[in-house]
Amino acid sequence: MYKEIGVLLLILTLAGCGDQKTVTGPTGPQGPPGPDDIQVSLQNGVFPSASYSGELDTWLDSANAGTPQNGASYRRVKVGSTVSLTEPGLNYGRVILRFDISSIPVNAIVSTVRLLMTTESSTNLGSSSVTVGLHTLSSSLSGGCSWTSSATWDLYGTGSWSNCDSDTSDGQKGMYDSTTLSTVVFNSSYTGVSKVIEYAIPASVVQGWISGSNLGLVLVSEGEFQSVPAANVDFYPFNSVTATNNPQLVVTYE
């Protein structure tokens, strides 16, 4: 009898071997999700690394319309009194700048963009209040008119701005889009001091750079060509001795 029971147990054991199941314990707690947004900062000599040198800038001086100002230690937005309506470009200055954003993936969806600029102590507002607006270069400019560091009030590099934007007036307002992206109001509190200021840039602007051409940005007095006391707002350039004073673009995307 015991022998028969032993044989039966062996048969049942062998029969179950082909249908074994792995038993697992309960699932552990799920970790927090990873961040959806990525933020990249672009600043010569600092971000995303000390080797980044993709930002370029200069300023355009109407009082020296054919002379490059890229050797100056500052980038100047300036205003002044006009002598007549036919000579609007007597004493005005604009800053142009451009960032290499090729490190941002082509499939990125941009959510926020900020431009950080640091003023120099040579800024002199006196009793004036100057609204400096941020614009894009004119969308009518062709790729062949891409400006260089030797750009002037009259020339984008090797040729005239008017060849690109068809604006032959002294004011050369055709070089930038009339839509103001954002503004900062500078008053006497900025005279003789260094401050970090911030411009908000619509995400669509940088999104367009990723998918198309990047012509750059322009800082210009929103009251340009009006009769006002002379004043200037000076910014550190792309190659400042202290790299953290260089212009900085902060882009958030997913």
pLDDT per position as a tens digit, 144-165:
788 999 999 999 988 999 998 9
Element (H, E) at 6: helix 2-16
> Domain residue spans in the chain?
36-253
Query: What are residue 114's DSSP bridge partners?
Result: 200, 250
CATH fold for domain 36-253: Jelly Rolls (2.60.120)
Phi, psi of 6 (to 5 degrees): -60, -45
For residue 133, give the nearest of 95, 81, 99 by alpha carbon.
Answer: 95
Cα radius of gyration (the chain): 30
Alpha carbon 167 to chain centroid, angstroms: 26
- Say which amino acid occupies 77: V
pLDDT mean by block of 10 residues, the chain; 254 residues:
45 47 60 75 98 98 93 95 57 96 97 98 94 94 86 92 90 94 97 98 98 95 85 97 98 98
**What b-and-e string marks burial along 105-125, b requiring 16 or more CB atoms within 10 Å of the CB?**
eeebebeebebebbbbeebbb
What local confidence, expressed as pLDDT, does residue 86 receive?
53
What local confidence, expressed as pLDDT, does residue 239 receive?
97
What local confidence, expressed as pLDDT, does residue 87 receive?
54
What local confidence, expressed as pLDDT, does residue 107 receive?
97
Q: How far apart are CA 74 and CA 138, in angstroms?
A: 24
What local confidence, expressed as pLDDT, does residue 8 receive?
42
Element (H, E) at 209: helix 203-211
What local confidence, expressed as pLDDT, does residue 10 receive?
41
Question: Which residue carries 């009898």 as its tokens?
Answer: 1
